[in-house]
Amino acid sequence: MARATYPVLQGVTIGMAMPLFQMKQVLVDACHRVYNKGWVASNDGNLSARLDKDRVLCTATGMSKGLVTPDDLCIIDMDGNKLEGLAHRKPSTEMKVHLMAYRERPDVMAVVHAHPPYATGYALAGLDLSDCELPEVVIALGSIPLTKYGLPGTEELSEKMKEFIHQSDAFLMELHGVTTVGQSVMNAYFKMETVEHFAKIDFIARQLGGPKRFSKERAEELLAARARYGVTTPNIGCRAEGGYAYPPEMREKPAEQNPTIDDAALIEEVTKRVLQALKSQK
């Protein structure tokens, strides 16, 4: 699959075009929202925002997201080294995943990781959320894949996530939780909200006999509509009735990338080889 292209960061411009103190407050507000929603407990979860091409603002380890203040945040470089922050505050051990997302996707300006109950339940059950069911979800996110398990806080986890980072903006993490990426802190937060809302609705529909998918044609209409709504982030499509639905950029490939098979020539070649095999057995 061809790698998607993304907008390039210009110089050291702050991703969300706001002063540092304001960026800190936005990240703190998102932390409090995640905690108040019940998507994390105790010291769970981690959030970050790209400040420029070299620096990332992030939450500290061992800190409840419901109690975070601007002073509790850390600034790290793209290798995870702490640049600024209170002496007793250390960057979250999960920053490896965040930094991987920033390196792989120049358009990503924020990352949110949490454990919303319904979506995390799907991740624990080994289920993704890639069925074409709700129009708003298909347009906003397309499919929500299930990434393979990796030990939290290690390079293994970021490598497992790396396999999917160019496929979506939202990921269920096998036996772990949920991660979303966005073009701003609140954009990433709202994607997490969409994932959990979708998971809850899908769960209810399963109790009522099972959700109904869109037809392949209708699903591909919705995927094509993403551009009209200004959604330019990558997605590989979703499962629909009648086959897998792909976004326009994956359907409209150059002919050389989609070689056609000459059925008559194939049958002739297979017949020839079968006859040769039969003769050799005589």
Which pLDDT score, from 0 to 100, does residue 10 have? 33
pLDDT for 49: 98
Structure confidence at residue 18 (pLDDT): 85
Tokens linked to 12? 């050291």
Q: State residue 205's pLDDT score.
A: 97
H or E element, residue 197: helix 185-207
Helix (H, G, I), strand (E, B) or coil at 82: strand
Rounded CA separation 141/191 (Å): 8
Per-residue model confidence as pLDDT tens digits over 3-35 = 444 343 333 334 456 899 999 999 999 999 999
Q: Which two tokens stand for residue 122?
A: 């799907």
Per-block average pLDDT, block size 10, for the chain (282 residues)?
A: 40 58 97 98 97 97 97 97 97 95 97 98 97 96 95 91 95 97 97 98 97 96 94 93 93 47 50 55 54
Long-range residue pairs from 154-161, CB within 8 A, at least 24 positions apart, any chain? 154/96, 155/96, 157/94, 157/96, 157/97, 158/96, 158/97, 158/99, 158/100, 159/100, 161/97, 161/100, 161/101
Give pLDDT, residue 153: 86
Contacts of 118 (CB under 8 A, 6+ apart): 196, 199, 200, 203
pLDDT of residue 249: 87
The conformation of residue 54, written as its DSSP 8-state character, comes to: S
For the chain, the structural domain boundaries read 1-282
Q: How far is CA 79 from the centre of its chain?
A: 21
pLDDT (0 to 100) of residue 228: 92
What pLDDT does 190 receive?
97
pLDDT at 7: 40
Max CA separation in the chain (angstroms): 85
Quote the pLDDT of residue 257.
38
139, 165 in Cβ contact below 8 A?
A: no
Residue 178: phi and psi, rounded to 5, are -135, 140
pLDDT digits (tens, 9 = 90+) for 41-61: 999 999 999 999 999 999 999
Token pair recorded at residue 114: 């949490």
The pLDDT assigned to 255 comes to 39
Helix ranges restricted to H, 37-153: 95-104, 117-124, 135-140
Architecture of domain 1-282: 3-Layer(aba) Sandwich (3.40)
- In 3D space, the residue among 181, 123, 186 whose CA is nearest the CA of residue 150 turns out to be 123
